[in-house]
Amino acid sequence: MFMNYNAGQGELKNWIVEETAFDSAFQGKCEVVMSQGNGYMGARSATEEKYVGQVRNLFVAGTYNKFDADEVTELPNSADMSAIEIFIDGRRFHLETGEVSNYSRRLNVKNGELIREFTWTNTEGKSFEMRFRRFFSQANLHLMAFDVQVKALNSDAKIEIRSGVDAQLSNSGAQHFHEGEKRIYDKRFIELLQHTTESKVDFVFLTSHRYLVDGQETEIDPGLQMDRRKVWLNIHHDLKAGETFGTEKVGVVHTSRDKQFDVEGYELQALRDHALTNLKNNADRSFDELLEESAAEWDKRWAGMSIQIGGSDFDQLAIRFAQYQLNIFTPMHDSRFGIGAKGLSGEGYKGHSFWDTEVFMLPFFIYTMPEVARSLLEYRFKTLDGARKKAKDNGYIGAQFPWESALTGEEVTPVWGAVDIITGKSTKIWSGFIEQHITCDITYALWQYYQITGDQKFMDDMGYEIMFDTATFWTSRLEWLEDRDMWGICNVIGPDEYKEHIDNNAFTNYMAVENIKLAIRYYEDLETSNPKLLAKLSDKLNLIEARKMWLERVDNIYLPQPREEDKVIPQDDTYLQKEIIDLTKYKEQPFVGGLFQDYNLEQVNEMQVSKQADIMVLFLQQEDKFDLETKLANWNYYEPKTLHDSSLSLSTHSVLASDVGNPELSYDLFQQAASIDIGQNMKSSDHGIHAASIGGMWQCVVYGFGGVRMLGGNLRINPNLPKEWDSLNFPIYWKGERLEVTVDQEQVRIERPEFNGQALNIEVAGEPRVIDSTEVTFNV
Amino acid sequence: MFMNYNAGQGELKNWIVEETAFDSAFQGKCEVVMSQGNGYMGARSATEEKYVGQVRNLFVAGTYNKFDADEVTELPNSADMSAIEIFIDGRRFHLETGEVSNYSRRLNVKNGELIREFTWTNTEGKSFEMRFRRFFSQANLHLMAFDVQVKALNSDAKIEIRSGVDAQLSNSGAQHFHEGEKRIYDKRFIELLQHTTESKVDFVFLTSHRYLVDGQETEIDPGLQMDRRKVWLNIHHDLKAGETFGTEKVGVVHTSRDKQFDVEGYELQALRDHALTNLKNNADRSFDELLEESAAEWDKRWAGMSIQIGGSDFDQLAIRFAQYQLNIFTPMHDSRFGIGAKGLSGEGYKGHSFWDTEVFMLPFFIYTMPEVARSLLEYRFKTLDGARKKAKDNGYIGAQFPWESALTGEEVTPVWGAVDIITGKSTKIWSGFIEQHITCDITYALWQYYQITGDQKFMDDMGYEIMFDTATFWTSRLEWLEDRDMWGICNVIGPDEYKEHIDNNAFTNYMAVENIKLAIRYYEDLETSNPKLLAKLSDKLNLIEARKMWLERVDNIYLPQPREEDKVIPQDDTYLQKEIIDLTKYKEQPFVGGLFQDYNLEQVNEMQVSKQADIMVLFLQQEDKFDLETKLANWNYYEPKTLHDSSLSLSTHSVLASDVGNPELSYDLFQQAASIDIGQNMKSSDHGIHAASIGGMWQCVVYGFGGVRMLGGNLRINPNLPKEWDSLNFPIYWKGERLEVTVDQEQVRIERPEFNGQALNIEVAGEPRVIDSTEVTFNV
């Protein structure tokens, strides 16, 4: 048990994730779980000193680059400033030599600070108290800071610290940067200027150090060093017994992708000057001062989004951890960028945005930070041209969003994946070609956003355009099913990615029909509410023609229905006819993907085995379209055949379990989902944070246990508190107004702190209610 | 003391370099000193398991690639097959955990085998005897083989071995390969196909494994794995107490740069097939069988080049080590390639060829392996077009060889180097622009080759052309010195690289004049001996005009003369007027380049401080042009001002010390030179082997102590045996005939094992002698 959840005391109770021992075999875990960032950039928390197996990553949102013509664009692994190597009496300090005691590494999710401390005794018997701290600033998105303190406990020692900027890193071998230009100004300000190879983004990395002896700033004349892609200082100090030597390091990163520089007439020198000014303005400030400034921003965030769970310390910490992550990996500052499927915490999925954003993470933002939700939807709007290109390239019309999306909305899903154990070749990844439901997922999500926030301006500026053009895509995508005399959607991958090239995936068909229906409905709306806008959109999107096709086809699209005998909805045209195999072995394995050590995808495709929720996600999205009996029947049929090999699966099942009135199961699945990253499995997070699962945790709490849902434009709050919890308190924003919901085993209280006299009609605990004061309580 | 020289016993006495303890801080040392190769390819001997600070390198001669337009071409770090990771009961094996005993790593320079063995006890108390062996085949230049044996001493254990091909490596961040194509045939033959990014060289890496339990081959069904740029097997075995599990791995590398494929009509598939065939032909053969085949080739090499030193085991081992290295890093198989300044053992100097080849390494080959010497000179001939381009680009005519040379003879010296501590910027490297003596060094070397071998065909085919066209370059390069009414050579760097932009460097001027004189002399020769060839060359090289210029200028070129007062020859026009500083501090430092922590190059340029031998190299090259008194005077003046910051310096000084009759000093310097790589300094070889110094060691022994020299076309053998040696025996080839020279403190014996009745007139021990039998002995 390396992970401890009780390290936070007093004010910090349930705010601290702690690692209690160091093991180089498990570095990936806390590199990711304790990753830091601010949406502008994010980094794995690899230790200052190096170990085999470590992955050092720094990603700056939106700075995609393509290494090679036949590869896809990805977030480049940027130069590392977090490596701070310590040499004691000429020997490299690391924890695999000597003795370590009192080890603790703690991520404070309240203020974003990471602290690592321990006592280390080298093989000569010299003991040192060491403390490492770091954070990425929420107040200055370009800034990160580090603090290294070494106290000699029992003897003098020569200490050397090597610290600077190291750009020898790559993305698993793919190098995205030119060599660049190195410079040390005034023996203090280290600069590395680099450019990405294909996207031509300029990066300025700058860092400076302050030196402290027993807390007093001191001057040191460091050795200056340069190597390929690397520039650093050798900092020497003769440490006396009892003395503490501290090095505080500030790093800043600015790029030509930054909004203010990504403009006509941009000049590199202006970027360099701007970056150097930022560094110089902060170089003489202490770590604590900079941290405080950042922590104040975190306080504001928490005031807006805080969730209180009574009765379970772990769950309280887990939901805070999830919200911490949602805050550090989301590029809230810039609507040109989406969220990566691994946030900014690893190379996994290359920093690309998937349906994970709209279906798993967006709900948190819609209900809690609507301006961020808007920014994320705006990102999709800004990629419409890429989506139109994709539709056109595939012979369709309208807008077809890419399965994986980067900066332009063009398809960036890689084509080759893991080994096929039968052929010995790389397996072809079909998602970029035929996993198409993303397009209706986005429209459904923006409709949710619209209904919950009432943001008409967004709809006028962006929402309708996406809605109409995706509907057009879907109608052009339909194929005529001769056998059924209906339209269908053939040759797709649904949410369950273990089924490729299938016809009429239930999720896809239902969601596509919804997409078209929304377009029809809002077209009609606009005819009366805003004919001018409609005319404009009609011009641009050729809506007269398009609408004709929507109307012609929408009512004759095949939607798989529950079978008469058992209410099971066929996941696709052939799933239910496939072979059923014993999955016990794979369900028991503590890792995912074990099936592929025995079968290749072609074989798996012919079995009733699912990677993840499929029909279940449909139930979650269109909750009011299916009755309880159908939901239960399908749960009982599909869940045993589902390996949950995708981290997207558990939270969906948890919310569904709440929906079907099984809070125990729901709670169990929530805890499993919560454990994916911060649990005791030390190998589960190596490739990066499970961003969708993190978003799903919020859904488990607020959708599942809180029972919140927007259905048909109306708010519903039907709590299903698990017996393990005494109470649950969370904020949601409804039509721009903050509501605070407090649930316990007997009651639900709705507070309207900004109550303006206007009554609010919502469903609470199964009944329509009127909330017409600052606080109303109902029995559940 | 990590290095031991007495590990070899019996037949292996003085053939084994041993490391007696492992310390991850000193990995570079034995990675380099124990590097392996066969001229086709070479690798640092990084351990099978990984440690921080390790440098894993595999270089294939001649496969240069340029990462970026503004970088220079370099040997790309190719995919690694030497990493073989062992997991015991799920934990990664490495020597920084648990307990290690009986550690020994031994390079056998006789057969090229590297053996590492030890007993390791993990933290659970399970003990294992481990043995790792590897070699690069001399019989099959494309093949390397590994053998890993793990014996469980006291308990059962689950063992997992992860082994395959890993191309995530780069050259300090510069990636030279496209991602490539991965494939596993028959669950056994792992293939990675890659292409360099700019030079478009195709590489095929292939590997396969055999598994042995207690020496008996066994079948294992491995897990197949692929990642970016990486393909490998997970090999599982349940090891019983007392049982030994062995994995033998064979790897082959073939490239489209290989002679047989670098042709018109080349097809990638043919290369792949050829490589796979080579692997399959060897996949079922045992490590020992493959090793034996390679060792037989080594035996032939040693029969040709063996040197016997009586009286010092270390010196005997040291010279064998030097010859081992000369054999593994020299691309003897292909005259399109030169020798890298770090051989094939590191990224240092990017695999480029310098004057190091001709001045420091070629003498060994000329006297011992003339066919290899010829190949190396042919390499220069093949780069003549590049040299002509360089001359032309600089406004000269003829051929100007590049300071650093790769495949084409175009200049490839990088332009930016280490930090300038004053400006904080990278220091500009001027060598590629103005370090020009390489051009006369090459001509002088080929003349040596011609004189010693009598290889007239080489001269006819290549030698004259180089000689004439370089002479033409030099005459066009001359500048008129108004103050002296003579021609001079201004703005150069001589061998002493701490003096930039100097005029009339003595070494350069003397050697350039010699170059022109040789051209004049052999032009005249050809007029009578081969007018037809002369006419052909005259046509091609415009010799009528050229010769006019040679003759006009050669006798009026300024050659710095010894000063009347002290016989000191000015190293250049200004050296002797510069400031003299106290160098004690820098001479005492155990590392090189310390001066630049206090001064920048601009400042050093204004001091009488030398990096390395300069005038001394001139004395060595043109030994008969300077008298003893002058040599001594200059030694006494310049040596105290020389930091020997270049590894090229010590051997030159050692030979010179022999020449001036100071064998003690000579011996001391030889031992210093011998210690640069295999000595006890564990940090001296990190960037790669000191190839020139290695070549210099042979010169110390044969030129210095053996007193061998070709002077004016005649052979001279004036031994100066150090008192520490009882005897010295070495072979030399003179005009194609093998001579064996045996020296002791009293006598020198010359053997002519192939004596054909023709008398040989040479100088031995100071007198002209006639060798007219199979064995003649003289007193010294």
For residue range B413-455, what is the model confidence (pLDDT) as tens digits? 999 999 998 999 999 999 999 999 999 999 999 999 999 999 9
User: What average pLDDT does range A215-229 have in this prediction?
Assistant: 96
**Both tokens of residue A231?**
């520039």
With contacts defined as CB-CB under 8 Å, which chain B residues touch A24? Answer: 92
A54: distance to nearest CA of chain B, Å? 10
pLDDT-derived band at B593 (thresholds 50, 70, 90) equals confident
What amino acid occupies position B438?
I
Q: Do A170 and B173 touch (CB under 8 A)?
A: yes
Give the per-residue pLDDT at B286.
98
Q: What is the mean pLDDT of chain A?
A: 96
Per-residue pLDDT tens for B345-382?
999 999 999 999 999 999 999 999 999 999 999 999 99
| Residue A308, strand partner residues | A729
**Both tokens of residue A650?**
């558990």
Count CB pairs under 8 A between chains A and B.
120
pTM score, whole prediction: 0.96
Site of tokens 């950039």: A41
Q: Do B179 and A51 touch (CB under 8 A)?
A: no
Active-site residues of B, by number, are 497
CA dist B125 and B145 (Å) reads 31
Give the per-residue pLDDT at A748.
97
> What is the DSSP track for B58-114?
EEETT--B-SSTTS--B---PPB---EEEEETTEE--TTSSEEEEEEEEEETTTTEE
pLDDT-derived band at A566 (thresholds 50, 70, 90) equals very high
pLDDT-derived band at A591 (thresholds 50, 70, 90) equals confident
> CA of B586: how far to CAs of A204, B590, B597, in Å?
36, 9, 10
Q: What is the mean pLDDT of chain B?
A: 96
B342: distance to nearest CA of chain A, Å? 17
Q: Do A173 and B167 touch (CB under 8 A)?
A: yes
What is residue B227's three-state secondary structure? strand
User: Could you tell me the end-to-end alpha-carbon distance of chain A, in angstroms, rounded to an integer?
Assistant: 39
Give the per-residue pLDDT at A480.
98
Cα nearest neighbour of B414 on chain A: A228
- Residue B262 has phi, psi (to 5 degrees) of -85, 60
According to the annotation, is B356 in a ligand binding site? yes
According to the annotation, is A187 in a ligand binding site? no
Q: Do B418 and A173 touch (CB under 8 A)?
A: no
Per-residue pLDDT tens for A286-332?
999 999 999 999 999 999 999 999 999 999 999 999 999 999 999 99
Per-residue pLDDT tens for B386-401?
999 999 999 999 999 9
DSSP state, residue B701: I
Q: Which of B442, B434, B431, B510 is nearest to B470 (CA)?
A: B442
According to the annotation, is A635 in a ligand binding site? no
Antiparallel, parallel or unpaired: β A157-166 and A230-239: antiparallel
Give the per-residue pLDDT at A647.
87
Which residues does A13 contact at the CB level (< 8 Å), separation at least 6? A313
According to the annotation, is A612 in a ligand binding site? yes
User: What average pLDDT does range B588-606 have in this prediction?
Assistant: 89
Q: Decide if pLDDT at A593 tops 90.
A: no
A31 among known catalytic residues: no
Give the per-residue pLDDT at A1.
84
Query: Rounded to the nearest 5 degrees, what angle is found at the Cα of B598, between the Cα atoms of B595 and B602?
Result: 80
Q: Decide if pLDDT at A613 tops 90.
A: no
Q: Which of B195, B183, B206, B196 is nearest to B275 (CA)?
A: B206
Give the per-residue pLDDT at A221.
95
Cα nearest neighbour of B95 on chain A: A96
Choose among A168, A182, A418: nearest Cβ to B173.
Answer: A168
Per-residue pLDDT tens for B195-221?
999 999 999 999 999 999 999 999 999
Q: Do B172 and A168 touch (CB under 8 A)?
A: yes
Choose among B24, B92, B424: nearest Cβ to A185.
Answer: B424
Q: Do B231 and A172 touch (CB under 8 A)?
A: no
Q: Decide if pLDDT at A433 tops 90.
A: yes
Q: Decide if pLDDT at B597 tops 90.
A: no
Q: Decide if pLDDT at B594 tops 90.
A: no
With contacts defined as CB-CB under 8 Å, which chain A residues touch B177? Answer: 173
H-assigned helices in B383-437 = 384-393, 431-434
CA dist B279 and B261 (Å) reads 17
Q: Do B172 and A91 touch (CB under 8 A)?
A: no
A257: distance to nearest CA of chain B, Å? 22
Give the length of chain B. Answer: 780
pLDDT-derived band at B590 (thresholds 50, 70, 90) equals confident
Q: Decide if pLDDT at B613 tops 90.
A: no
Choose among B169, B223, B231: nearest Cβ to A597.
Answer: B223
Per-residue pLDDT tens for A646-656?
988 999 999 99
Per-residue pLDDT tens for B651-693?
999 999 998 889 899 999 999 999 999 999 999 999 999 999 9
Q: Are B271 and B252 in contact (CB under 8 A)?
A: no
B11: distance to nearest CA of chain A, Å? 39
Q: What is the CA radius of gyration of chain B?
A: 27
Mutant choice from A77, A170, A591, A598 vs B, greatest count of B C-beta within 10 A: A170
Give the per-residue pLDDT at A590.
80
Q: Decide if pLDDT at A9 tops 90.
A: yes
Q: Do A421 and B94 touch (CB under 8 A)?
A: no
Per-residue pLDDT tens for A345-387?
999 999 999 999 999 999 999 999 999 999 999 999 999 999 9
Q: Which of A625, A331, A391 is nearest to A507 (CA)?
A: A625
> CA of A390: how far to CAs of A600, B26, B233, in Å?
29, 54, 38
Cα nearest neighbour of A600 on chain B: B224
Which strands sit side by side in the sheet containing B708-711, from one edge to the other?
Answer: B708-711, B714-717, B760-764, B767-771
With contacts defined as CB-CB under 8 Å, which chain B residues touch A51? Answer: 52
Query: Rounded to the nearest 5 degrees, what angle is found at the Cα of B716, between the Cα atoms of B714 and B722?
Result: 160
